[in-house]
């Protein structure tokens, strides 16, 4: 009885709180209609949700709250070649939506004046979930990442100061930035955060595989694909781990014996033990992101699997997982296993993402 | 019976209310405290960039080294940060948020003031020549003013500032040779974050409410290459990334580049 009484008292108290909270909410709503509009715009930004099967975001939605106007501005910046030194190269030149923002068929990509870059243009997807950027992990944040290709002499070859000067000299950009950040000069944080709204929106989480693991409609895998998945988990998932299909570690996968042209992670850490180690790439949309490896040396996934089966060469920093107990290098994969793996890798293709018109170049 | 501390409705209300209120700009104004007695003062810094005994000019003037080489300077820029004042009793005051980019091409950048220094008698001063790793890795929103990556003192590919940049030409070689010395990096083993602690030469820095002393430093470019480690300029490798030699240059300039020439009591 006493317990019931207490409970009743508690309910009455709660009812009072609810009333008070309701009143407070009412006044907030009255004062906060613009906030409601903000919330609607947030929903309109692609990729601004947490897929149920993904780990927690690194670049959370609170960091640079997705908003339609800023996303559109970032999209405009991403596709604007005027930001390069000679006006010929934009981010979108080497990162194309239809191939998960990799560069279709390009081993290395030409920057300004046609100079080739040092590495294969990576796919850009699910960047909100990544700790580090670039094949050597030198760049530590999504917002800062854009500076690397912008300023690289073989890519866009523009100083940040020059890029800002170009934006500030453009009336349309001034208006767009002012509408979001208020009047004044367009500065580094505004520029980088606007661009990051676009790159953070490149979420790929709607492949057939995703539907399968989330028990959603359309999520059926064939017996061959399921066999490939089991093989993948046994032979590949220690590096291509989690739903991002990378553990973000740096590993030497036995492409070369020496690394005179590109030392990979050692370029950043200067440690000899890091020579030849590169970031494990995600395999999402991998059937569409050819060519493969940091230097784009393999044109097909079949070549990649053949490399792991019999192409791995030794070096001092070769990843231990590629040394079998019997001394053999690589990951033995019978022809049938390779076929099954390829079938599984094809289920990682996310056509919703690859054909999302909101991620294409905006109308001028 | 199960106790439910909050009803779903209440949770919804709070969640919505906090969502809405988070949209609002934080307009809280802090209470203004005006102490009866001022407890802090200001210390000014002036950096006099030199090459040995001569004032540094970026006009093509060729300067001799002690080892018979000559060179010109076109660019000299460096960060001074994390300024610390210490007392004879071993206590010290670390001035927060001080990041100053000195650019020899912009004379106004050679002097700056550190305010809110607790009044007292200071017998030592030190500063980082460069930027601490926490700050250099931080969100671009924090990288404004002198820390702005747009200042071209930043390695985008490695996420971090260039702490010291010297560019010029070695003119004693034939043909002449570019001199490129960009020092940065905060990762072991090539961590180039160094602290300079130039002696006050027995003087005491008196910081009072009505006493704003000024420290005049010389910054001698020659000491970058000649100190703990000697580098012949003709053999100095073009340096634009962390390396063993860049750490040695940093140790050189930490040890000998900066000297207190005089203290103006004001």
Q: Could you tell me where the DSSP H helices lie in chain A? A: 2-31, 33-44, 68-78, 91-94, 142-145, 147-151, 160-168, 171-181, 188-199, 208-213, 223-235, 266-269, 301-306, 335-346, 351-354
Are the beta carbons of A269 and B13 separated by less than 8 Å?
Answer: no
CB atoms within 10 A of CB B229: 14
CA distance A21 to chain B (A): 7
- Half-sphere CA count of A197, side-chain side, radius 13 A: 25
Predicted confidence (pLDDT) at residue B9 exceeds the cutoff of 60: no
Domain boundaries, chain B: 37-264
> Poorest-confidence range of A153-157, A271-275, B139-143, B173-177?
B139-143
Q: Distance (Å, rounded) from C-alpha B90 to C-alpha B87?
A: 6
pLDDT band at B36, cuts 50/70/90?
low
* pLDDT tens track for B100-112: 999 999 999 999 9
Q: Distance (Å, rounded) from C-alpha B157 to C-alpha A138?
A: 6
DSSP B194-224: EEE----TT--EEEBTTB--EEEEEEETHHH
| CB contact at 8 A, B192 and B186 | yes
Q: Sort out which chain B residues have CB atoms less than 8 A from A144's CB and list them.
A: 140, 149, 156, 159
Helix axes of A188-199 and A68-78: crossing angle, nearest 10 degrees: 90
Residue A277, phi then psi, degrees to nearest 5: -95, 130
CB atoms within 10 A of CB B78: 25
Distances (CA, A) of A138 to A169, B53, B186: 31, 40, 12
Residue B103 three-state SS: strand
Q: Phi/psi zone of residue A253: left (φ > 0), alpha (ψ -120 to 50 degrees), beta?
A: alpha
Q: Sort out which chain A residues have CB atoms less than 8 A from B242's CB and list them.
A: 270
Q: What is the pLDDT, as a whole number, of residue A63?
A: 87
Q: Distance (Å, rounded) from C-alpha A288 to C-alpha A307?
A: 19
- Return the structure tokens found at A110: 């030409």
User: Within an 8 Å CB–CB cutoff, is residue A159 touching chain B?
Assistant: yes
User: B47-50: long-range contacts at Cβ-Cβ below 8 A with a sequence spacing of 24 or more?
Assistant: B47/B80, B47/B102, B47/B110, B47/B111, B47/B217, B47/B218, B47/B219, B47/B258, B48/B110, B48/B216, B48/B217, B48/B218, B48/B219, B48/B261, B49/B76, B49/B102, B49/B104, B49/B110, B49/B219, B49/B221, B50/B218, B50/B219, B50/B220, B50/B221
Residue B221, phi then psi, degrees to nearest 5: -55, -35
User: Within an 8 Å CB–CB cutoff, is residue A160 touching chain B?
Assistant: yes
Q: What is the mean pLDDT of the segment spanning B150-173?
A: 95
Q: What is the pLDDT, as a whole number, of residue B137?
A: 87
> Poorest-confidence range of B29-38, B63-72, B75-84, B179-188?
B29-38
| Residue B47, strand partner residues | B217
Q: Distance (Å, rounded) from C-alpha A144 to C-alpha B154?
A: 11
In tens digits, chain A (364 residues) has pLDDT values of 344 444 444 444 444 444 344 434 434 443 444 444 444 444 579 999 999 999 999 999 998 999 999 999 999 999 999 999 999 999 999 999 999 999 999 999 999 989 999 999 999 999 999 999 999 999 989 999 999 999 999 999 999 999 999 999 999 999 999 999 999 999 999 999 999 999 999 999 999 999 999 999 999 999 999 999 999 999 999 999 999 999 999 999 999 999 999 999 999 998 999 999 999 999 999 999 999 999 999 999 999 999 999 999 999 999 999 999 999 999 999 999 999 999 999 999 999 999 999 999 998 7
Q: What is the pLDDT, as a whole number, of residue B38?
A: 81
| Residue B211, strand partner residues | B208
Q: How many residues does chain B have?
A: 266
pLDDT band at B34, cuts 50/70/90?
low
- Return the structure tokens found at B57: 């000019």
Helix axes of A335-346 and A223-235: crossing angle, nearest 10 degrees: 100
Q: What is the mean pLDDT of the segment spanning B44-51?
A: 98
**Which of A35, A139, A188 lies at the smallest CB-CB distance from B143?**
A188
Domains belonging to chain A, first-starting first, are 68-204 (1.10.760.10), 208-348 (1.10.760.10)
User: Within an 8 Å CB–CB cutoff, is residue A188 touching chain B?
Assistant: yes
Q: What is the pLDDT, as a whole number, of residue B49?
A: 98
Q: Distance (Å, rounded) from C-alpha B186 to C-alpha B242?
A: 8
| Residue B264, strand partner residues | B214
Predicted confidence (pLDDT) at residue B15 exceeds the cutoff of 90: no
pLDDT band at B219, cuts 50/70/90?
very high
Q: Sort out which chain A residues have CB atoms less than 8 A from B136's CB and list them.
A: none
Q: Distance (Å, rounded) from C-alpha B3 to C-alpha B12?
A: 18
Q: Distance (Å, rounded) from C-alpha A130 to C-alpha A247?
A: 10
Q: What is the pLDDT of chain B when averaged over all its residues?
A: 88
Q: What is the pLDDT, as a whole number, of residue B35?
A: 53
Q: In terms of DSSP bridges, do strands B40-51 and B214-220 run parallel, antiparallel, or are they unpaired?
A: parallel
Q: What is the pLDDT, as a whole number, of residue B7?
A: 43
Q: Sort out which chain B residues have CB atoms less than 8 A from A270's CB and list them.
A: 187, 189-190, 242-243
CA proximity to A138, closest of A151, A130, A148, A128? A148
Q: Distance (Å, rounded) from C-alpha A173 to C-alpha A166?
A: 9
Q: Distance (Å, rounded) from C-alpha A234 to C-alpha A337?
A: 12
Q: Distance (Å, rounded) from C-alpha B83 to C-alpha B99?
A: 9
Residue A48 three-state SS: coil
Are the beta carbons of A138 and B157 separated by less than 8 Å?
Answer: yes
Q: Distance (Å, rounded) from C-alpha A276 to C-alpha B146?
A: 36
Tell me which residues of chain A, numbers 39 to 58, contact chain B at a CB-CB cutoff of 8 Å: 39
Q: Distance (Å, rounded) from C-alpha B156 to C-alpha B152?
A: 10
Residue with tokens 């991620």: A359
Q: What is the pLDDT, as a whole number, of residue B142?
A: 74
Q: Sort out which chain B residues have CB atoms less than 8 A from A38's CB and list them.
A: 23
Interface test with A, best of B142, B157, B182 (most A CBs within 10 A): B157
Q: Nearest 5°: CA angle at A244, between A240 and A245?
A: 20
Largest CA distance in chain A: 85
Q: Phi/psi zone of residue A36: left (φ > 0), alpha (ψ -120 to 50 degrees), beta?
A: alpha
Interface test with B, best of A12, A268, A272 (most B CBs within 10 A): A268
- B142: nearest CA partner in chain A: A189
DSSP A282: P
Interface predicted TM-score (ipTM) = 0.72
| Span between the terminal Cα atoms of chain B, in Å | 76
> CB under 8 Å to A77, separation ≥6 — which residues?
A83, A91, A191, A194, A195, A198
């Amino acid at each position: 009885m006493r317990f019931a009484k207490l409970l009743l008292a508690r309910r009455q108290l709660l009812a009072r709180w609810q009333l008070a909270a309701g009143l407070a909410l009412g006044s907030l709503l009255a004062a906060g209609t613009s906030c409601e509009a903000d919330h609607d715009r947030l929903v309109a930004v692609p990729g601004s949700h947490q897929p149920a099967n993904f780990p927690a975001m690194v670049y959370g939605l609170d960091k640079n709250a997705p908003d339609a106007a800023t996303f559109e501005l970032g999209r405009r910046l991403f596709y604007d070649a005027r930001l390069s030194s000679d006006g010929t190269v934009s981010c979108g030149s080497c990162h194309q939506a239809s191939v998960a923002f990799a560069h279709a068929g390009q081993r290395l990509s030409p920057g300004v004046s046609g100079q080739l870059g040092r590495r294969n243009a990576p796919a850009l997807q699910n960047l909100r979930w990544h700790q580090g950027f670039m094949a050597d992990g030198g760049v530590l944040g999504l917002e800062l990442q854009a500076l690397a290709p912008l300023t690289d002499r073989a890519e866009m070859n523009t100083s940040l100061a020059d890029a800002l000067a170009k934006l500030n000299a453009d009336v349309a950009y001034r208006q767009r930035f002012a509408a979001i950040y208020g009047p004044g000069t367009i500065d580094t944080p505004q520029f980088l955060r606007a661009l990051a709204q676009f790159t953070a929106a490149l979420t790929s989480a709607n492949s057939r595989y995703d539907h399968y693991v989330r028990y959603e409609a359309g999520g059926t895998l064939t017996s061959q694909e399921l066999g490939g998945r089991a093989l993948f988990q046994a032979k590949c998932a220690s590096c291509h781990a989690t739903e991002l299909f990378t553990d973000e570690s740096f590993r030497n996968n036995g492409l070369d014996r020496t690394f005179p042209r590109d030392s990979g992670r050692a370029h950043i850490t200067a440690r000899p033990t890091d020579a030849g180690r590169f970031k494990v790439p995600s395999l999402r949309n991998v059937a569409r992101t050819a060519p493969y490896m940091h230097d784009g040396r393999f044109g097909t996934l079949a070549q990649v699997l053949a490399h792991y089966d019999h192409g791995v060469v030794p070096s001092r920093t070769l990843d231990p997982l590629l040394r079998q107990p019997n001394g053999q290098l690589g990951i033995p994969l019978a022809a049938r296993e390779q076929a099954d793996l390829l079938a599984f890798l094809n289920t990682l293709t996310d056509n919703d993402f690859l054909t999302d018109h909101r991620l294409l170049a905006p109308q001028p | 019976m199960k106790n439910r501390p909050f009803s779903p409705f209440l949770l919804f209300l709070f969640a919505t209310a906090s969502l809405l209120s988070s949209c609002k700009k934080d307009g809280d104004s802090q209470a203004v405290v005006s102490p009866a007695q001022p407890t802090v003062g200001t210390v000014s810094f002036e950096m006099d960039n030199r090459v040995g005994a001569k004032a540094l000019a970026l006009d093509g003037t060729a300067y001799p080294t002690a080892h018979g080489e000559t060179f010109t300077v076109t660019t000299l820029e460096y960060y001074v940060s994390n300024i610390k004042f210490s007392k004879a009793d071993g206590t010290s005051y670390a001035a927060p948020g001080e990041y100053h980019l000195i650019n020899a091409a912009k004379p106004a950048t050679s002097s700056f003031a550190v305010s809110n220094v607790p009044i007292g008698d200071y017998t030592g001063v030190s500063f980082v020549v460069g930027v601490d790793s926490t700050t250099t890795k931080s969100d671009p929103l924090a990288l404004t003013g002198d820390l702005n990556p747009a200042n071209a003192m930043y390695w985008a590919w490695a996420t971090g500032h260039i702490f010291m940049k010297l560019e010029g030409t070695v003119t004693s070689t034939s043909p002449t040779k570019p001199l490129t010395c960009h020092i940065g990096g905060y990762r072991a083993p090539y961590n180039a974050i160094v602290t300079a602690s130039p002696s006050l030469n027995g003087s005491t820095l008196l910081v009072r409410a009505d006493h704003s002393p000024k420290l005049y430093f010389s910054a001698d470019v020659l000491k970058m290459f000649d100190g703990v480690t000697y580098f012949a300029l003709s053999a100095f490798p073009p340096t634009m990334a962390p390396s063993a030699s860049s750490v040695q240059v940093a140790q050189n300039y930490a040890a000998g580049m900066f000297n207190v020439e005089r203290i103006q009591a004001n």
